[in-house]
Amino acid sequence: MTLPPDELLRRAAGVRLVLLDVDGVLTDGRLYYGAEGEALKAFDVKDGHGIVLLRDRVDFGVISGRPGKASERRLQELRFKHLVFGERDKLEGYAKLAHLGVPDEAVAYMGDDVNDVPLLRKVGLAAAPADAREEARAAAHLVTSAAGGRGAVRELCDLILRAKGA
């Protein structure tokens, strides 16, 4: 349910917390395994720069269904404050952040798969990458032109920056 540009800007202006899925949003969703079984992931620098430009205006966090060892270093580097890993039920992961006191309408969330849909329907600004599952795209207020791990997060950050007059 994509929204018209003026409504997207109105919602984006009120965002105080940006939550992201990791695999398929901050990364392209592919997992690489080294010889010792370690998981490796690739993060897009354009997404990272968008986060850097926005992080002094909003808080950032992740809610990911997978364990976070392969992602933690990059997220720490980007100064993410709220990390919820190993939580396939995204609403349960979101509930772990209730202590922050941020109302749903002041939260933006980007997800790419069916387990993200309940949270996409709950938050004030729901976003999905261009290559997200159809169910996630249908629940999103914004579907980016870029794919996950390829600039989708940057588009969301740019929208929020523009809405906040930056």
pLDDT of residue 68: 78
**pTM of the predicted model, to two decimals?**
0.95
Average pLDDT value over all residues in the chain: 95
pLDDT of residue 39: 80
CA separation, residue 18 to residues 29, 30, 37, 100 (Å): 20, 23, 31, 12
Q: Domain range spanning residue 53?
A: 5-163
**pLDDT tens column, 98-152:** 999 999 999 999 999 999 999 999 999 999 999 999 999 999 999 999 999 999 9
Structure-derived torsion over alpha carbons of residues 56, 62, 67, 70, reported in degrees to the nearest 10: -40
Provide the CATH number for the domain around residue 18.
Answer: 3.40.50.1000
Domain total in the chain? 1
